[in-house]
Homo-oligomer: A and B are copies of this chain.
Amino acid sequence: MIELAQLQQLIAVSEQGTISAAAEELHLSQPALTRSLQRLEGELGVVLFDRKRNRAALNRVGEQAVARAKAVLGAVDDMAMELRLYAARLSTIAIGSCGPAPMWDLAAELAERNPEKTLSTELGDTESLLAGLKRGSYRLILTDRPIEQPGILCQKYTQERLYVALPPKHPLSARPSIRLAELGQESILAYRDMGIWQRIVQNNPQLHYLVQSDRGTLAELVQATDLPCFSSNLTATRFLGRSNRVTVMLEDEEASVTFFLCARENDRDLFEQLC
């Protein structure tokens, strides 16, 4: 039986030019390599070298064999690499969402039910999430509208409503609800990866957003200052913690979103765990 090691040896000889040099490269003695190559010739049933007693040069069949050997070894390497990738993908559940808070809830639930799995989370807009779901990049996605397409399972997952958290002394803190625009040109703390909430920010460009990319830093700033910040019904109450804030509902249309959980038909088991 032909061995992959023999194909590597053949390639080494073609690269080094002599059997001696190839043997050294392969940490093998010269005679051992000679014999191994002879076996390969026997197993292939062809002569690969023009042997001149003192010189073993690849003949045309040998050159052809080298090209084929490289292809075979490449295929084997690819096989190993792609199997590792495949195994990794089987053991991870990738979820995508257009909003961060429900994604964290979902991730928490999945982690509890599938402690052996790795979770990966990603934010995106509904269109790209759906495309990713279809090509297998995501196992589950949370969209801002119901998806009705063949092969796609979809069900209402949760609703999120946005609030602003104001210091008690703030002029608007006594109101039950406001529109975000009423804050005028004030500063407000915001998280960078806000997904769908990006809409309400874009519609109120006059506000001064203090954008934080680190969730921990954001939490610290909330505790340490009395700057306004965002909050929602899904935000853990401990996020505001002992900070002295009054939450005021936002009246804007974009301040309320219903999230829908979607999975592919062949992932029905996973999907139904969560309904």
Contacts and interface: CB of A to CB of B under 8 A. Distances in A.
Contacts of A84: 44-46
A108 interface: no
B72 A76 contact: yes
Interface in A79-120: 79-80, 82-84, 86-87, 90
A220 to B, nearest CB: 41
A56 to B, nearest CB: 17
11 contacts: A2-B80, A44-B79, A46-B87, A60-B90, A64-B82, A64-B83, A65-B83, A69-B79, A72-B72, A72-B75, A72-B76
A267 to B, nearest CB: 14
A71 interface: yes
A238 to B, nearest CB: 40
Contact of A2 (B65, B69, B76): B76
A83 B2 contact: no
Contact of A68 (B8, B46, B65, B82): B82
B3 A47 contact: no
Nearest to A45: B84
A46 B1 contact: no
A68 B61 contact: no
B44 A61 contact: no
B76 A61 contact: no
Contacts of A1: 4-5, 8
A86 B64 contact: yes
Chain A interface helix/strand/loop/mixed: helix
A75 B7 CA distance: 13
Contact of A79 (B72, B76, B80, B82): B72
Contact of A4 (B3, B44, B64, B90): B3
A69 B72 CA distance: 11
Nearest to A65: B83
Contacts of A60: 86, 90
Contacts of A45: 80, 83-84
Given A75-B71, A79-B69, A87 B47 contact: yes
B64 A68 contact: no
Given A1-B8, A46-B86, 15 more contacts: A1-B5, A3-B3, A45-B80, A45-B83, A45-B84, A46-B84, A47-B87, A61-B83, A61-B87, A65-B83, A68-B79, A68-B82, A71-B75, A71-B79, A72-B72
Nearest to A75: B72
B86 A61 contact: yes
A186 to B, nearest CB: 54
